[in-house]
Chains A and B, each alone.
Chain A
Amino acid sequence: MEHLVPIGLNHYLTISAFLLGFGLFAVMTRKNAIVVLMGVELILNAANINFIAFSKYNGGMGGIMFSLFVIVIAAAEAAIALAIVINIFKIFKSVDVSSIDSMKE
């Protein structure tokens, strides 16, 4: 097992970075508003992983507490965002974010 590298901070941060990358990719490329929201959740969770990882290797409880807040805020954000998406759907009969551009110019 000596040849195996013990899991360290960099591994967490790498996973977190990938997760952030997927989240951003979803937010930027997906057309469905629900999927975009899912991407946002991925970004938030990437942050959470960072918080937890830093908390573990730093020794404090701050990161853990922060991640709990983020989960709460993510829940609230999901509720509000889904409400917005429902209203968007009511108005535009679609949740395709690329077609919703009435704020243009």
Chain B
Amino acid sequence: MHSLIQLSIVVLLLPLLSFVILIFFNRRLPRRGDFVGVGILGTAFALSAYIFWTVIVQTYDPAFRVAWDFTWIDLGQVPGIGPLQIKMGIVIDNLTAIMLAMVTLISLLVHLYSTGYMAGDKNYGRYFAFLGIFTFSMLGIVLSDNLFSIYIFWELVGLSSYLLIGFFFEKDSAADAQKKAFLANRVGDIGMWLGILILYSQFHTFSFTEIYANLAAGKFALSNAWLTAAGLLLFMGCVGKSAQFPLHIWLPDAMEGPTPVSALIHAATMVAAGVYFVARIFVVLTPDALHVIAFIGAVTAFMAATIAITQNDIKRVLAYSTVSQLGYMVLGLGVGAYSAALFHLVTHAFFKACLFLGSGAIIHAMHHEQDMRWMGGLRKHMPWTFATFTLATLALAGLPLTSGFMSKDAILAGAIGFATAEGGGVYYLIPVLGFFSAMLTAFYMGRQIWLVFFGESRTHLKPVDNHHSDHHAHSTHDTHNDDHHAAHEVHEVSWNMRAPLVILAALSVFFVYSPNPLDGAQGWFMKMIQTPPTVVGSYQSAPSSEKLAVGSQQSATEGENSALSTQHSALSEQHSALTNERQAEIAHASHAAHFPAIYISSIMVLLGISLAGIVYVFKIIDPDKTAQAIRPLYLFSLNKWYWDEIYDATFIKGSIVISKMLSWFDTNIIDGIVNGVALTVKNIAFANNSFDKYVVDGLVNFTAFSVNTTGAVLRKLQTGKVQTYVVMLLAVVFGYFVFYFTRLIY
């Protein structure tokens, strides 16, 4: 076993250890055991950082890959299926190494931050336990080398997300939100499982490498439409987990969870799992599937951005912004900008975690006020938060010199390249929506920064009994000792909440990723994460796919040690030689579109920011009057495109109607059948009973009666007098003679 594999197993199991310790013993440990969680995550991060250092910095090989697996379940020969083995395994390549470091780092920072944010909560220890199980599940997804174990960890992530969203389960809204998140994820997961089964039915394996090798060898017996369907069904898992249209509805509601949880789960890791999964299965996606994915991503990015501009809740703006950015990533994967999408995944994870933790600091300082309309002027009181929040905002908006600029531009360049390569037309909708969303992003983030940090404090403007439609637990939050603070006094948060903000903000600057602030492709990330060549058969020439199949199968069948980087780089040379024309064409067009993308997006971002400035800083346009002027559009955005209402009217009402019909069917038809059967049985039993009572009993009684009667008659014969008997004897003898002689005579 490769030493990195051993290390990664330790990294995987450490958060589980934290969960086990904290869930059972948190009340017996000092400080409810928060130091256990932070310490274990610190260790895990240190080991992940070592893996990252070894893989990315020392090896610096785009084709680096080590793998190890073992047979988990061996059912032998199953009739009708063949040999049934389920393997578990770990794969470490560049993407895994980066994700590993990212997840453990953000988890560590969130742990640290939570020691401040959640201090005094009555379920403080359990909170850290949940963070542990979540981190474990997420690392499991990142390390899995097969669809089966990824699905297991996928569901574990769903479960831990459920637990964390509903952490304040005394609140109805939190309990509702956790159910909504779980159900929306279920819808996606069903599709994902069906997709896994389509692939399994063809190849009888869950392993990524074996599936790719088999697919490249043309062993997919069904038509290409089935492969597209499999890809789209697998993508449904991403739609659920990464909150893509039309299953995005759960993510904004998931803001009911504690804010650090929002940072960890709903900004950086869990929602990124969907994008990560699509990247893992990228090579099996057919062009048709990729087109659908690209459009869903573009629609999600645009829709969420339009919703975000009217939200008043500080976390909801960020939530819709997250949905929008996830849309960018999915769009990026759809257009084939593989490394750009994953680049955006990582940069977004850091700056969005920073924004969420910053908003947590603001909420903490404002005594659980989340409505931006009643904030303002916090710049003076919270300089650290202000600085880091602003830096992360710039990265999110995509201003030059930030990480977000590079990754978003790479995606948009890819989108332009894709549209060009596909021949324009409706495909230009994708980059157009992308650029427009970039402008909206800049606008709503500018609005947020202004409303929160600038101007005068508007705390006093808040209506006293204001229970707005998007109100949030002002009253039920009993988790913090408010009496330590004077009512409206706002001050900076403590060091353990500040440090994560600073670290995350530092990771949002360009030089972490690339020496050239204008071009992410020159950085280590885009060099280490390269687009894998597709294995979808119809896009390859026959002889080359044979070569690939032989190479892949060799590497798949050989033992753990042989799956080392040297062989894989040899394999990847074959791969890169096979990189199909379409990908090359898109890559070429994207490269050509690099500078146009930079110009257009910079212009759009500046437009967005200046619009925010015009509206909120210089107040040239009054936002309220504008909202009145375009009231239908305003309401459309404020009510989140009415998705909740639409789902309420269709799926929820529909399922209620169906349940009512089923209930009617149950009470009338099923119960009718059951009752009918019961009635029939009862009637049969009654007839049976009558038969018993009158016929059988009658016969028995009649027998008894006749015997009795006969006896009563015959009893009279037995007089006890000898002479009577003699008479009878004579009578019989006489009778016999009469009988006998009569016979004799005639």
Chain A residues packing against B (C-beta within 8 Å): 24, 27-29, 36, 97-98, 100-105
The answer, among A24, A27, A29, A101, for a CB contact under 8 Å with B720, is: A101
The 7 A-B residue pairs with the shortest CB-CB distance, nearest first, are: A104-B720, A101-B720, A103-B720, A101-B721, A28-B723, A97-B722, A27-B726
- The residue among B721, B727, B730 with the most chain A CB atoms within 10 A of its own CB is B721
Complex: chain B residue closest to A29, CB-CB: B723
Provide 7 A-B residue pairs closer than 8 Å at the C-beta atoms, listed in order of the A residue.
Answer: A28-B727, A97-B721, A100-B720, A101-B721, A102-B720, A104-B721, A105-B720
Q: Which residue of chain A has the shortest Cβ distance to B723 in the bound complex?
A: A28
B713 to chain A, nearest CB (A): 13
Is B715 part of the contact surface with A, judged by Cβ < 8 Å? yes
Within the complex, the shortest CB–CB distance from A30 to chain B, in Å, comes to: 9
B741 to chain A, nearest CB (A): 15
Distance of A101 Cα from B722 Cα, bound (Å) = 8
Inter-chain CA distance A1–B17, complex, in Å, is 150
Instruction: Report the bound CA distance from A105 to B721 in whole Å.
Output: 11
Residue of A nearest to B725 (CB): A103
Is residue B719 contacting chain A, with contact meaning CB distance below 8 A? yes
> What residues of B have a CB within 8 angstroms of the CB of A27 in the complex?
723, 726
Inter-chain contact count A-B, CB under 8 Å? 32
Apart from A100-B721, A103-B720, A104-B719, 10 more pairs, CB < 8 Å: A27-B726, A28-B730, A36-B722, A97-B722, A97-B723, A100-B720, A101-B719, A101-B720, A102-B720, A104-B718
Closest approach, in angstroms, between the C-beta of A68 and any C-beta of chain B?
A: 26
State in angstroms the CA–CA spacing of A48 and B555 once bound together.
Answer: 128
Which residues of B, 629-657, contact A by the 8 Å Cβ criterion?
none
- Measured between beta carbons, the chain A residues less than 8 angstroms from B722 are 36, 97, 100
A101 to B725, alpha carbons, bound, how many Å?
Answer: 12
Q: Which residue of B lies closest to A98 (CB)?
A: B721
Tell me the B residues contacting A by CB distance below 8 Å.
715, 718-723, 726-727, 730
A21 CB to closest chain B CB (Å) equals: 11
* CB neighbours of A24 from chain B (8 A): 726, 730
A83 to B424, CA, bound (A): 143
In the complex, which residues of chain A have a beta carbon less than 8 angstroms from the beta carbon of B730?
24, 28
- Chain A min CB distance to B321 (Å): 112
Nearest B residue (CB) for A30 = B723
Interface pair B718/A28, CB less than 8 Å apart: no
A104 CA / B715 CA spacing, docked (Å):
9
Which of A28, A98, A103 is close to B726, meaning CB atoms less than 8 Å apart?
A28
Question: Please, how many angstroms separate the alpha-carbon atoms of A93 and B335 in the complex?
Answer: 135
Please, which residues of chain A bring their CB within 8 A of the CB of B720? 100-105
CB distance from A102 to the nearest CB of B (A): 6
Chain A nearest CB, measured from B737 CB (Å): 13
A104 to B722, CA, bound (A): 10
Q: Are B723 and A105 in contact (CB under 8 A)?
A: no
State how many angstroms separate the Cβ of B342 from the closest Cβ of chain A. 113
Interchain CA distance A44-B458 in the complex, whole Å? 148
Question: What is the CA–CA distance of A50 and B385 in the complex, to the nearest angstrom?
Answer: 151
Bound state CA distance, A103 and B721, in angstroms?
Answer: 8
Most B-side CB within 10 Å, residue of A29, A36, A101, A102? A101
Cβ of A97: which chain B residues have Cβ within 8 Å of it? 721-723
Q: How far in angstroms is the closest Cβ of chain B from A46?
A: 14
Q: How far is the CB of B264 from chain A (nearest CB, A)?
A: 104
Kindly state the separation between the CA atoms of A98 and B720 in the bound complex, as whole angstroms: 9
User: In whole Å, how far is B711's beta carbon from the nearest beta carbon of chain A?
Assistant: 10
Nearest CB in chain A to that of B715: its residue: A105
Contact of B718 (CB < 8 Å), options: A36, A100, A102, A105 = A105
Cα A102 to Cα B715 with chains together (Å): 14
CB contacts (< 8 Å) of B718 on chain A: these are 103-105
A100 to B720, CA, bound (A): 8
Min Cβ gap A29→B in Å is 8
A98 contacts which chain B residues (CB < 8 A)?
721, 723
Measured CA separation A102–B718 after assembly (Å): 11
Minimal beta-carbon separation of B6 from chain A (angstroms): 106
Q: Which residue of B lies closest to A103 (CB)?
A: B720
Q: How far is the CA of A36 from the CA of B721 in the complex (A)?
A: 13
A97 to B723 alpha-carbon distance, docked (Å): 8
CA separation between A101 and B717, bound complex, in Å?
Answer: 12
**Which residue of the partner chain A has the closest CB to B730?**
A24
Which chain B positions have C-beta within 8 A of A100?
720-722
Which residues of chain A have C-beta atoms less than 8 A from B715's C-beta? 105
Complexed CA–CA distance, A28 and B730 (Å): 10
* Nearest opposing residue in chain A for B716, CB measure: A105
Closest chain-B Cβ to A50's Cβ sits at a distance in Å of 16
Q: Closest residue of chain B to A33, judged by CB?
A: B722
* Distance in angstroms between the alpha carbons of A98 and B730 in the assembled complex: 18
Contacts of A105 in B (CB 8 A): 715, 718, 720
- In whole Å, how far is A37's beta carbon from the nearest beta carbon of chain B? 11
Please, how many angstroms separate the alpha-carbon atoms of A51 and B4 in the complex?
133
Q: How far is the CA of A98 from the CA of B721 in the complex (A)?
A: 6
A105 to B711: give the CA distance in the assembly, Å: 11
In the bound complex, CA of A97 to CA of B718 (Å)? 15
- Bound together, the chains give a CA A8 to CA B730 distance in angstroms of 28
Query: Shortest beta-carbon distance, B682 to chain A, in Å?
Result: 49
A101 CA / B723 CA spacing, docked (Å): 10
* Assembly CA distance A97 to B720 (angstroms): 10
Alpha-carbon gap, A39 to B723, bound state (A) = 12
Instruction: Please name all residues of chain A whose beta carbon is closer than 8 Å to the beta carbon of B723 when the two chains form the complex.
Output: 27-29, 36, 97-98
Q: How far is the CA of A104 from the CA of B719 in the complex (A)?
A: 5
- Chain A contacts for B719, CB-based, 8 A: 101, 104
Least CB distance from A76 to B in Å reads 19
CA distance A28 to B722 in the complex (A): 9
Q: Which residue of B lies closest to A104 (CB)?
A: B720
Bound-state CA distance A36–B724 (Å) is 13
CB distance from B276 to the nearest CB of A (A): 105
Question: What distance in Å separates the Cβ of B312 from its nearest Cβ neighbour in chain A?
Answer: 111
A57 to B475, CA, bound (A): 142
CA distance A36 to B726 in the complex (A): 11
Query: How long is the Cα–Cα vector from A100 to B719 in the complex, in angstroms?
Result: 10
Q: Which residues of A contact B721 (CB under 8 A)?
A: 97-98, 100-101, 104
- Nearest CB in chain B to that of A31: its residue: B723
| A17 → B minimal CB distance (Å) | 13
Task: Name the distance in Å between B371's Cβ and chain A's nearest Cβ.
Answer: 110
CB distance from A99 to the nearest CB of B (A): 9
- Alpha-carbon distance between A9 and B129 when the two chains are bound, in angstroms: 133
CB distance from B734 to the nearest CB of A (A): 11
What is the chain B residue whose CB lies nearest that of A99?
A: B721
Enumerate chain B residues within 8 angstroms of A36, measured Cβ to Cβ.
722-723
**Closest CB in chain B relative to A36 CB, distance in Å:** 8
